[in-house]
Amino acid sequence: MHRKARIAVIGAGLGGLTVAGFLQRAGFTVNVYEQAPTFSRIGAGIILSANVTKVLRRLGLEEGLIAAGIKSQSYVSRAWDTGEVMAEFVFDQASERRYGGPYVHIHRGDLHAVLERGVAPRTIAFDHQLVELTPERNAMRLVFSNGETVEADIVIGADGIRSRVRDYLLGPELPQFVGATAFRAIFPAARLNGFKIPDCTKWWGPDRHCLPYYLTGRRDEVYAIGVVPAAAWDSEETSVPSTRSQYLQSFAGFHADLQRVLEAVDGVTLWPIFDRKRNDTWSDGPSGRVVLLGDACHPMRPFMAAGGAMAVEDAAILSRCLDKFDQSAEAFRCYEATRIPRVADVQRISLENTWMRGPTDTDWFYCYDACTAPLAAV
């Protein structure tokens, strides 16, 4: 693509900031428009597996991720009632060499602070909610809720599950509630009163699961996400306050080790889980003006801890395609052909909720390097 192309990225999430960082390094002019007035510290953590950390290393962010988060040493799957260890995955120097990167847990607020360092100063325009997207003769016109209008040659929709850019491409369609909600709580490890827990455990129940993990290398902050069935989500809010007793009640009968963790939780919130059916239209095809990445085109259930990973991989591949091809339409075709098969596998496994439940081949997922993987022939 011509380096003078004006590229607008909508959304300063994991995918948006990563694609902006790579495109800037390739010499493009990129602006990121984010609806939020600033980044806020929502009460949640995130797991970044080796296929993510090795990509973010290329933006100079790996050390920052490890300093703000924790390089996890293990992931243990345990049966909800007996506590039997069904599988254990050790993350050590040998696994880091094999996978090509560390396995990191981090507070989402801290992650955003690190990601922001991957783009040039003043790249992000906060308080810019995209409300309208219109094709002009030689560009796209973007209108924001603050009244500002800009023109761009290429628009990258990295605006998450309720993507406005997706609406433009595919027509408005609400995401679907998957019949599950997630309790989320972050609390000081001191509240465990000396009770030692592994870096990450997934407790597998028949219809629900809970995942407590550390968020810092000092192991002084814990995040516990617990997913439970729910008939409906009636609130307009993205989350509602909840309580320790509701959390405990939802995991009544689970093993004593998990009860001990849930007795320590504080500041509990409850979140609905949404996804969308698979859709393989990620761009406007021959027009070569508009393209989607991450949750904007393939939101998935969070049961493989991989939605963010897919957004980061998309970002690396899309920037490589825009760098390689003269025509954006060709770049989009290559991007879609490269990404759709892998994302479809991850979407399917996320739906099944089987990842790392027992012995699992993790190499195809963690060893993948989106910065060097072959691009599809188009």
Ligand X SMILES: Cc1cc2nc3c(=O)[nH]c(=O)nc-3n(C[C@H](O)[C@H](O)[C@H](O)COP(=O)(O)OP(=O)(O)OC[C@H]3O[C@@H](n4cnc5c(N)ncnc54)[C@H](O)[C@@H]3O)c2cc1C
For residues 43 and 107, give the distance between their C-alpha atoms in angstroms, rounded to a whole number.
Answer: 8
Residues between 299 and 318 with contacts to ligand X, criterion CB under 6 A: 302, 305-309, 311
> Phi first, then psi: what are they for 305, rounded to 5°?
50, 50
Count of CA atoms in the C-beta half-sphere (13 A) of 228 = 16
**# binding residues, ligand X (CB under 6 A):** 34
Out of 8, 23, 30, 47, which residue is the one contacting ligand X (CB under 6 A)?
Answer: 47
Tell the smallest beta-carbon distance from residue 82 to ligand X (Å). Answer: 26
342 binds ligand X (CB under 6 A): no
* Beta strand segments in 218-322, E: 221-229, 240-241, 269-275, 290-292
Residues between 187 and 206 with contacts to ligand X, criterion CB under 6 A: none
Phi-psi region of 126 (alpha: psi -120 to 50; beta: other; left: phi over 0): beta
End-to-end CA distance of the chain: 16
Out of 7, 11, 20, 21, which residue is the one contacting ligand X (CB under 6 A)?
Answer: 11
| Binding map of ligand X across residues 259-278, x = CB under 6 A, - = no contact | ------------x-x-----
Tell the smallest beta-carbon distance from residue 12 to ligand X (Å). Answer: 5
Tell the smallest beta-carbon distance from residue 16 to ligand X (Å). Answer: 5
110 binds ligand X (CB under 6 A): no
258 binds ligand X (CB under 6 A): no
Computed on alpha carbons and rounded to an integer, the radius of gyration of the chain in Å comes to 21
Out of 10, 106, 155, 261, which residue is the one contacting ligand X (CB under 6 A)?
Answer: 10
158 binds ligand X (CB under 6 A): yes
Which of 75, 168, 213, 223 is labelled catalytic?
213
For residues 315 and 32, give the distance between their C-alpha atoms in angstroms, rounded to a whole number.
Answer: 13
Q: Is the dihedral of CA 323, 328, 330, 332 positive or negative?
A: positive
130 binds ligand X (CB under 6 A): yes
For residues 221 and 83, give the distance between their C-alpha atoms in angstroms, rounded to a whole number.
Answer: 23
| Neighbouring residues of 258: CB distance < 8 A, sequence distance ≥ 6 | 80, 201, 203, 210, 212, 251
Identity of the residue, 66 or 378, whose beta carbon is nearer to ligand X in the bound complex: 66
139 binds ligand X (CB under 6 A): no
Tell the smallest beta-carbon distance from residue 293 to ligand X (Å). Answer: 6
Query: Would you call 213 a catalytic residue per the annotation?
Result: yes
Out of 22, 28, 33, 91, which residue is the one contacting ligand X (CB under 6 A)?
Answer: 33
| Neighbouring residues of 121: CB distance < 8 A, sequence distance ≥ 6 | none
Q: Which stretch binds ligand X (CB under 6 A): 80-88, 260-268, 293-301, 328-336?
A: 293-301
Structure tokens at 121: 């100063």
- Residue numbers of the site for ligand X (CB under 6 A)? 10-16, 33-36, 46-47, 128-130, 158-160, 164, 182, 225, 271, 273, 294-296, 302, 305-309, 311
Residue positions annotated with a catalytic role: 213
